[in-house]
Amino acid sequence: MKTLLLKTDKDLQIFMHPKRQQILHLLSVNASMTAKQISDALAMQPSSAKHHLLRLQELGLVEVDHTELIHGITATFYRKTLVTVSFASLGAEKQKLVSDFIDKQVRDDLYAKPRTHTDESGHFMADQLSGVVHLSEKEADQVYRLIRTFLAKHEKHGEGKKAYAYSLVAYHV
């Protein structure tokens, strides 16, 4: 999986715009969408949705999936680019800003509607974990690679798959 390194304030402004984050979330859940479908889902003008899509595309977070002829009009479908976003080069203050912003979005979505740990059949639905594990450097590297590999393998939409949001923070204490 590719890593997109946010380096400039401009990159950060494009990435952290609330509507653009909503668009990225929609495209993470849905395989692909048009600007019109996004505008309907987010109650905004199609031209505004298109503008935000182009900015995300400029940064490398969104790409054209395909085009279709619908009622005589060529519709462009966009998808989220399979890329990991890194904030490592932004400096500690901006890293905290981005981290707080993203964590708040995930938590707000988690708590937006009542959720239980499991559904009626016992299927996992939601949880939030916290704690400390004790690992050697080798084990920490191994866990990190396992998680990154697993996430990269499962970012694509597929038949019979459901979308699960996650936020994971790990660091050496």
pLDDT of residue 116: 82
- Residue 84 has φ and ψ, to the nearest 5°, of -95, 135
Three-state DSSP at 102 gives helix
Predicted local distance difference test score (pLDDT) of residue 23: 96
Alpha-carbon distances of 66 from 74, 104, 106, 130, 167, rounded to whole Å: 10, 32, 29, 41, 29
Question: So what's the pLDDT on residue 105?
Answer: 87
CA distance 140 to 159: 33
CA neighbor of 170 nearest in space, from 147, 153, 150? 147
Q: Is the pLDDT of residue 156 over 90?
A: no
Q: Is residue 23 part of a domain?
A: yes
Token output for 65? 């999936």
Looking up residue 40, the CATH number of its domain turns out to be: 1.10.10.10
Residue 23: what residue type?
I
> What percent of the chain has pLDDT above 90?
53
Given this model, what pLDDT does residue 18 score? 92
Count how many domains the chain has.
1
* Domain region containing 12: 2-84
Q: What is the mean pLDDT of residues 153-159?
A: 87
Q: Is residue 134 part of a domain?
A: no
What is the per-residue pLDDT for 27? 95
Q: Is residue 11 part of a domain?
A: yes
**For residues 83 and 86, what is the distance between their CA atoms, to the nearest angstrom?**
9
The pLDDT tens digits of the residues spanning 46-93 come to 999 999 999 999 999 999 999 999 999 999 999 999 888 888 888 889
**Residue 12 falls inside a structural domain:** yes
What pLDDT, in 10s, does the model give residues 94-125?
989 988 988 888 888 888 877 788 888 888 88
**Coil, helix or strand at residue 100:** helix
Distances (CA, A) of 79 to 3, 29, 97, 110: 17, 10, 26, 23
6-48: pLDDT as tens digits: 989 999 999 999 999 999 999 999 989 999 999 999 999 999 9
Residue 163 carries which side chain, given as an amino acid letter? A
Residue with more model confidence, 152 or 77: 77
pLDDT of residue 21: 94
Place of tokens 């109650």: 43
